[in-house]
Amino acid sequence: MTCHMAVRFASLVVPVFVLGCVSPAPAADRTISIAEALLRATPGVVLVTTEVAAKVRLDCGRGTTTVEPPPYRETGTGWFIDSRGWVITNGHVVQAAYETPRWLVNQQAQRAVTVACLPKALERAGLIPGERPDREDAVRRKVLDRVLPTAKVTLEPRIVILVQNGAEARAEVAKYGPPFRAEPGDAMSARDLAVLKIPGDNFPVLRLAGSKPVQVGDTIHIIGYPAVVLQHELLDQSGPMAPSVTKGTVSGFQKDKNNHPLIQTDASAAWGNSGGPAVDDRGTVVGVLTYVSVTPGPEGSIVQGFNFVIPSDAVKTFIRDRPINLESIGKFNPIWYAALRAFFTDDWKGAVRQFEQADTLVSGLPDVTRMLGEAREKVKNPPPRPFPWFWVALGVTLVSAGGYGAQLYIRWQRNRYRVRPADVIRLMEAGQQPVLLDIRKTEEYEKVPLRLPGSVRLAPEEFETGAAGLELEPTRPIVAYCT
């Protein structure tokens, strides 16, 4: 017996939960925290000390003598642009040692004359130092007028780079750009920059930012050694000194009197910050702090919020004729970056291993020492992990979706051959008279007085065994009414 069943499937819309798989971004594009970015940058910042010692030969009237007055000393900030000992700083930070100004020569000579000749001159005049300032000044002027013209000054300038682990190295000026001079008649420099070279390699490096310019409102961080911190009487000055970091924004764009662009920022800065790198939120250098704003007058104080930065593109232009490799990050940086990545992703053991390697390569850096200690502490006493709400919520969602989908599938399985009365009527109207079979269970058939007109009554067991012997046309649809 061949049977044809008329089957109608209803459209079923099933909600589908799709979990997007996102490939990890390349390392160069991966978002890192501000803390990690700044830790990448700070080890490469150095203290630059310019010192000019002097030996002054003079005659106070009792024969020629040599006096060594206290040396002139100025501090600033610099940073490694190449791991082979190439350092960037401001031109005015090293100016006293590179092109000693005349005023410094005169200052050292006056100090020598004051130290060697003034005490005896006051004694001969019957004056006690500090008792009669007006008469003391008159004696000082006479001594200076008499001795200074014959004084011979020999200068011994030097520039010293102090790495954060306490290592000192004598630096040579590889390229020099004098600072801007505002006095009438003075030449004006292209850039207040200097390239220094010290022996050694494997130094931490700060990378220059890409070609995308900063915009007003962008965050900026100035790293350096402000003198107010270096000379603070309440701070321990005996150990390695880590640089300070101040935060601000790009507040404008200016040009100097030579029409060179400058970045204006409200990030705080002070004496000693000169030459320090200004970095973005990824820890790359967007510029070099060049000068701050001061109030008018000889004793002018710094006006915070109006500081100026030489853009990084100017640094690239300044160093292009020197054998500096901007693409090389040396041996220290990859290890240091990997250690920080492990630390900030809670891989404490991996961080310890990487920090130990970084400390072996360049030992004694304060940030490396501190981060190594923190990583070891977290290995020893790991912090409690937060409850995995995300994964719990995801699991509940998947289970719920699976249960809902299973119910829909079971319902579809049970109803996949069902037709509605309207479908039967539609078949009749189309001239396809279906064969109606009433195959309800016997007890249901006898209990319910409903009878289908024109239907053929078959007991379920007769239908299953084919005992009814029905002759059906192969082309006619069959609709069965059952319970």
Of the listed ranges 74-78, 200-204, 275-279, 425-429, the one predicted with least confidence: 425-429
346 and 313 together in one domain: no
Residue 141 and residue 172 in one domain = yes
Cβ(223)–Cβ(350) under 8 Å? Answer: no
d(CA 444, CA 459): 11
Q: What is the mean pLDDT of residues 230-243?
A: 65
Question: Domain for residue 27, yes or no?
Answer: no
Rg of the chain taking only CA atoms, in angstroms: 43
**Per the domain annotation, does 7 fall within a domain?**
no
Q: Which amino acid is at 73?
A: R
Residues 137 and 247 occupy one common structural domain: yes
Same domain as 290, residue 142:
yes
Q: Which domain holds residue 336?
A: 332-380
Per-residue confidence (pLDDT) for residue 62, from 0 to 100: 83
Q: Supply the pLDDT for residue 301.
A: 56
- Does residue 21 belong to any structural domain of this protein? no
436-470 per-position pLDDT tens digit = 887 888 778 778 777 777 788 877 777 666 655 66
Distance CA 170, CA 35 (A): 32
- Average pLDDT of the residues of the chain: 83
166 and 239, same domain (yes or no): yes
pLDDT in tens, 130-184: 777 888 888 889 989 998 998 999 999 999 999 999 899 999 999 999 886 544 4
What confidence score (pLDDT) does residue 120 get? 86
Cβ-based neighbour number of residue 301 at 10 Å? 8
- Whether residue 179 lies inside any domain: the answer is yes
What is residue 303's predicted lDDT score, i.e. its pLDDT?
A: 62
Average pLDDT over residues 350-357: 96
Asked if residue 192 and residue 103 are part of one domain, the reply reads: yes
More confident residue, 427 or 263: 263
Specify burial of residue 11 (Cβ count, 10 A radius: 0-12, 13-18, 19+). exposed
The larger pLDDT score, comparing residue 299 to residue 375, is at 375
**51 and 168 housed in the same domain:** yes
Tens-place pLDDT, residues 74-97: 999 999 999 999 999 999 999 999
Residues 369 and 409 in one domain: no
Region 276-299: what's the mean pLDDT? 80
pLDDT at 11: 30
CATH (domain of 61)? 2.40.10.120
In this prediction, residue 28 carries a pLDDT of 44
Residue 468: inside a domain, yes or no? yes
Same domain, 409 and 475: no
Q: What is the mean predicted confidence (pLDDT) over 312-323?
A: 93
Question: What is the pTM (predicted TM-score) of this model?
Answer: 0.71
Same-domain pairing of 346 and 396: no
Is residue 31 packed enough to be buried (19+ CB in 10 Å), middle (13-18) or exposed (0-12)?
exposed
Q: Is residue 1 part of a domain?
A: no
Average pLDDT over residues 237-266: 85
Question: Quick count: other Cβ atoms within 10 Å of Cβ 436?
Answer: 16
Judge if 277 and 295 occupy the same domain. yes
pLDDT higher for 56 or 228?
Answer: 56
Residue 314 maps to a domain: yes
Lowest mean pLDDT among 65-69, 375-379, 409-413, 471-475: 471-475
Is 364 within the bounds of a domain? yes
Asked if 264 and 371 sit in the same domain, the reply is: no
How would residue 302 be classed by pLDDT, with cut points 50, 70 and 90?
Answer: low
Number of domains in the chain: 4
Measured distance CA(225)–CA(237) in Å, rounded:
13
